[in-house]
Structure 1
Amino acid sequence: MKLFAVFACLLVGCLAGKPHPCSSPPLMSGALTVSSQNEKVWAYAQYLYDALGQRLRLKEIGTYENKTFTYDVLLLYREATMYEIVKHNRTCKKKPLKGDFYPLGIPKTASLLGQAVVGSSSGPGEGLLVNTWTGDQPDKGGKFMITYTEFGCIPVSAAFHTEQFGWMVLSYFNNVVGISDPGELNPPDFCPDTEMENSKEEPADFLSLFFKKH
C-alpha cells in the first residue's frame, strides 16, 4: 500500500510538472527588438501592454530598407483605431486598425516543442526555465514559434512567418509586470479631435508597424 502511495505521488508530480498553455499578466511594460529574415527590417521598441482594455503603445527606432525611422503609435483594438503620435510638434494621425487583439500567452491550440534553461542550470539563479511552443497563425496562415517563461508566463521570444519578409523574430527583455504611467495608453490631449484619415492603404496591423515606409 505504501509503495502504491509513493508511486501515485510521483505520477501526480510528473503530471503537475508538464508545461501547459498559459496567459501573461494583463498589464506589462518592457522592450523588444524585431528583425526580419531577409534583413530589410530591424527595430527596437519600448512597449506598454494592456490586455484588459486591449491597448498597446509602441515607441520605436529602427531601419527599414537601410532608412532610419522613429515611430510612436497607440493601438486601440476595441475602437479599431491607431494613433500615430508626434510629441515634439503635438500632432496626430488617426488611422483604421485591423485584426483582433491577441493577448500575450500560449494559445490553447499550440504544441509544446520542449523545455530548456536559458543560461545555466548549475546553480540557483543562474538560469531561466522556458518553454517553446509552435502552431498556426489564425489570421495569416503560416507558422509561429514562441518562447515563454515557465513561471509567470513572461514572453522571451516569438517568430512569425510572413510572405513579404520570411520569418519575423521578436525578442523581449526588461519586462515588468504592471504599467508605471497608465495615461500613456490614452490618446494625448492633442489627439482626440483628430479625424480618421481616408486612405487607399490597407488598415494597419501589428506586424506592419515594423516595416511601414515612414
Structure 2
Amino acid sequence: MRLFALLTCLLVGCLAEKPHPCTSPALLSGALTVSTQNEKLWTYSQYMYDALGQRIRLKEMGTYENKSFTYDALLLFREATMFEINNHDRTCKKKPLKVDFQPLEIPKTASLLGQAVIGSSSGPGQGLLVNTWIGDLPKKAGKFMSTVTEFGCIPVSNVYHTDQFGWVLTSFFNNVIGLSDPSQLNPPDFCPDAEMESTEEPTDFLSLFLSNH
C-alpha cells in the first residue's frame, strides 16, 4: 500500500512538473504555411532543417499581393550564402545571406503562457499536449509567441509582428524527425559556378523571399 502511494505521488509530481524552454530536434523536415495579417502574403512550403550544419531548404508556392509564385531557396548560414534554385532551367542565383541562423527553440528568456491540448483530452490518442511561450525577438525586433509539443519540442506555430505585414503566422505540420534526402541541403551541381550577386542587407527573414515576387 505504501509503495502504491509512493508511486502515485511520483506520478502526480511528474505530471505536474512545469514545462521548461526547449530545443527542437536538430534535423527536421515537413511542411509549413506562412500568412500575414494584412493578407498580402500566403505561402505553403516544404522545408528541410539542419541545425547542425545551419542549413535550410524551402520549396514554396503561394501568393504575394494577389500574384502567384513558386520559389526554391537553399540557405547556407555558415557560408553566408543563399541559392535561388530553378531546377527546370537548371539555373541558380547566388546571393549573400546577411541574417543570423535562428534555431528552432524556445529561448531560456521566454515565459510560459500556458499549456493546452489540441484536439480532445477525452481519450488516448485524441489530443496533443502543447506549450505556448512568449518572449522577445533577437535584437529587440519585437515580440513572439510560439507553440511547441510538450514531448519532443516539435514546432506547431509561431507568431510575431512586423511593421510591413502586421502579425505573421507560421504553422508547422507533417513534421518528421530526420532528413529523408540530406543531399537536398547541398547546392545542385549547376549552382557552385554561379556568381555572387550584390544585394541590400535584408531587414528580416521574410525579406529574403519577398524581394523576388
TM-score, structure 2 as length reference:
0.92
Asked whether 1:179 is paired with 2:179, we answer: yes
In structure 1, what is the equivalent of residue 205 of structure 2?
206
Q: Secondary structure of 2:13's partner?
A: helix
* Same amino acid, percent of matched pairs: 76
Determine the C-alpha separation between the residues in 2 that align with 1:99 and 1:213: 17
Whether the aligned pair in 1 keeps the contact of 2:202 and 2:208 (CA below 8 Å) is no
Quickly say closer, same or farther: Cα 1:125–1:192, change in 2 above 3 A.
same
Asked whether 1:66 is paired with 2:66, we answer: yes
Q: Secondary structure of 1:139's partner?
A: helix
What is the one-letter code of the residue matched to 1:101?
A: F
Q: Secondary structure of 1:171's partner?
A: strand
In structure 2, what is the equivalent of residue 150 of structure 1?
150
User: Within 5 Å, which residues of 2 pair with 1:1-214?
Assistant: 9=9, 13=13, 17-139=17-139, 141-199=141-199, 201-203=200-202, 205-214=204-213
**Ranges in structure 1 where 5+ consecutive residues have no aligned partner:** none
Range with greater deviation from structure 2 (132-141 or 78-87): 132-141
Whether the aligned pair in 2 keeps the contact of 1:55 and 1:74 (CA below 8 Å) is yes
Whether the aligned pair in 2 keeps the contact of 1:24 and 1:154 (CA below 8 Å) is yes
Determine the C-alpha separation between the residues in 2 that align with 1:110 and 1:67: 37
Whether the aligned pair in 1 keeps the contact of 2:75 and 2:81 (CA below 8 Å) is yes
**Ranges in structure 2 where 5+ consecutive residues have no aligned partner:** none
Quickly say closer, same or farther: Cα 1:11–1:59, change in 2 above 3 A.
closer
Determine the C-alpha separation between the residues in 2 that align with 1:45 and 1:17: 35
- Deviation track 1:158-189 (CA, whole Å, cap 9, x = no partner) reads 01111111111000000000000000000000
Determine the C-alpha separation between the residues in 2 that align with 1:197 and 1:84: 11
What is the one-letter code of the residue matched to 1:211?
A: L
Determine the C-alpha separation between the residues in 1 that align with 2:98 and 2:16: 39
Please state how far the C-alpha of 1:99 moved relative to its aligned partner.
1.8
Please state how far the C-alpha of 1:20 moved relative to its aligned partner.
0.3
Determine the C-alpha separation between the residues in 2 that align with 1:203 and 1:197: 14
Determine the C-alpha separation between the residues in 2 that align with 1:99 and 1:12: 44
- Deviation track 1:17-44 (CA, whole Å, cap 9, x = no partner) reads 2100111110010000000000100000
- Deviation track 1:127-164 (CA, whole Å, cap 9, x = no partner) reads 00000000010135210000000001000000111111
Matched residues, number: 210
Determine the C-alpha separation between the residues in 1 that align with 2:191 and 2:140: 31
What is the one-letter code of the residue matched to 1:208?
A: S
Quickly say closer, same or farther: Cα 1:99–1:75, change in 2 above 3 A.
same
What is the one-letter code of the residue matched to 2:41?
A: V
Quickly say closer, same or farther: Cα 1:193–1:140, change in 2 above 3 A.
farther
Determine the C-alpha separation between the residues in 1 that align with 2:191 and 2:83: 8
Quickly say closer, same or farther: Cα 1:73–1:204, change in 2 above 3 A.
farther
TM-score, structure 1 as length reference:
0.91
Please state how far the C-alpha of 1:209 moved relative to its aligned partner.
3.6
Please state how far the C-alpha of 1:213 moved relative to its aligned partner.
3.7
Determine the C-alpha separation between the residues in 2 that align with 1:204 and 1:58: 19
